[in-house]
Structures are given as C-alpha cells and as structure tokens.
Structure 1
Amino acid sequence: MLDRLRRAARHLKAELLALSHAARDARTPWPARAVALLVLAYALSPIDLIPDFIPVLGYLDDLLLVPAGLWLALRLVPPAVLADARAEAARHPRKLARSGWGLALMLAVYALLLLLLWRWLGPGVAGWWAARDSVQ
C-alpha cells in the first residue's frame, strides 16, 4: 500500500513537471496555459486553501484539488504538446521548487475571492455591522 502511494506521488510530480513544460510551449492554447499556471501555482505555493496543520482537512485539499486541477489542465493541453512535454520532463527530471510567483498568484486569487465574497454579501454584512454597532 505504501509503495503504491509512493509511486502515485512520483507520477503526480512527473505530471506536474510535464505540465510546467507544456505551459511554456507556444503551441499550448491560452485557456490551457491559464489553468496550468493556476494548478502549478497552487501546487507549488507555500500556502494552501486549507492549512496543512488542520487535521485531515489540511491534506485533503492537496489530495483532491491538485490531482483534479492537474487532470483538467492535462485534458486541455493538445496531445502532441503533452507528449513532447512528458518526453522533456523524462529527459530532464528536476524537482519543482516552491514558487514565490505561485505564492503571489495564489494571494491575488484569494484576495479576488474575498473581494467577490464581500461584494456578494456586502449589503447583508454592512447592514449586520451597522445593526451590531447601534446596539452597543
């Protein structure tokens, strides 16, 4: 069982490396490139949607979101580009390091999500906040 998990983790890392090569290929369409960059940014960012110190849930987002995003990104990349990217990743295996750009991108995405949530809940939150202040 543990050996199978290690093989799956190695395969996931190899696919992420291939995806990084495919994202830099000029033949990759921009929607596939955008999804690939988001997946890579999330996978390599030092911050997660749910922090890892939270028991079970902290690792559950990594176990679900990264493979699901990888699956989607790989489906959007043209097969010829993906084959070339996998071959390049196999020829030059390297470790994907934590990314400062990934951190910046994920912070921007989180800020955008918070802004959208605030705008969506804005009137209700502002009314609640005003009512709370008038009671005190």
Structure 2
Amino acid sequence: MKINEFIKQIKLKIKAIYLAFKNENTPLLAKIFAGITIGYALSPIDLIPDFIPILGYLDDLIILPLLIYISFKLIPGEIMKECEEKANEVWKDGKPKRLIYGLPIIIFWILVIGFIVYRFFIK
C-alpha cells in the first residue's frame, strides 16, 4: 500500500470514528476511546513535538493507529460499517457537506484563542 493510500484510509477511519462517537447506539467505553482518538488526531499538541527529527512523527505513526485500532475494536461492527459508509458519503470531496461536522473544531479553536487572549491580554 502506498503512503498516500494509507493516509487516506487513516483520514477516512477518523471520520468514521467521529460519526460513531456521535451515534447514540455506540457503547460508553467505545465513545470514550473514540473521543480520545478524535481529540488526539485533531489536537495541535503531541506527546512528542513534531519538530524533533524522526521521533516527532513517530508518535503519530504509532499512537494514532493504535487508538484507531482500539476504537474500531470497541465500536460494534454494524455501527462501524454504517459510519464508514456515511463517512464516504459525507466527505466525498474531502470537506464535510454540512457545517455541523466542522463545528467541534471551530469551537475548540475559539476556546484556545479566547484562553490566550484572556490569559495574556486581559489579566
């Protein structure tokens, strides 16, 4: 498998895990790991910063696939299959068709910027 194919598969799996996280039939433990997986995938903060040669990307190559694997094992198969199909449909061109899917990321960055402004400029 080529690296570009692998990256596309990882992105698709993260999108499917996000949809499974939003599904009310997903068990609580699976939702917890799905939330951790999504948070780690979208987080600008890594355990090992990316500017450190080799090691910076190594944590992404090991931790993220491991979290995806655990999430896939915990989410029931029929829910995961439905979410993978839905992820293919919703993100056909690489962008969500509805703004609601990008809302958690927008809220996260608003909170980060708000915290920085409050911490350094208002106090």
**Smaller-chain TM-score bracket:** 0.7 to 0.9
Structure 1 counterpart of 2:59, from 61, 64, 71? 61
Distance in 2, matches of 1:92 and 1:25, equals 15
What are the superposed Cα offsets for residues 57-94 of structure 1, whole Å, 9 maximum, x if unpaired?
00000000000000000110001100110111011114
Taking the aligned partners of 2:38 and 2:90, their CA distance within structure 1 comes to 18
Q: Determine the C-alpha separation between the residues in 2 that align with 1:80 and 1:58.
A: 35
Q: Provide the rounded CA distance (Å) in 2 between the counterparts of 1:42 and 1:14.
A: 15
What is the RMSD computed on CA atoms of the aligned residues? 2.2
Q: C-alpha distance in 2, partners of 1:16/1:38?
A: 11
Question: Which residue of the other structure, out of 54, 72, 75, is the alignment partner of 1:74?
Answer: 72
Cα separation, 1, equivalents of 2:85 and 2:37: 20
TM-score (normalised: structure 2): 0.75
What does residue 51 of structure 1 align with? 49
Distance 1:43 1:26 in 2: 22
- Between the aligned residues of both structures, percent identity stands at 35
Quick one: distance in 2 between partners of 1:49 and 1:86? 28
- Summarize deviations over 1:84-113 as a string: whole Å, max 9, x none: 101110111144869327x97xxxxxxxxx
Measured in 2, the distance between the counterparts of 1:23 and 1:71 equals 15
Larger Rg: 1
Shift of 1:24: 0.5
One-letter amino acid of the counterpart of residue 52, structure 1 = D
Aligned to 1:87: 85
TM-score if structure 1 supplies the norm length?
Answer: 0.69
Q: Specify the alignment match of 2:26 in structure 1.
A: 28
Q: Unpaired segments of 5 or more residues in structure 1?
A: 105-136
CA–CA separation in structure 2 for the residues paired with 1:80 and 1:9: 24
Number of residues paired by the alignment? 101
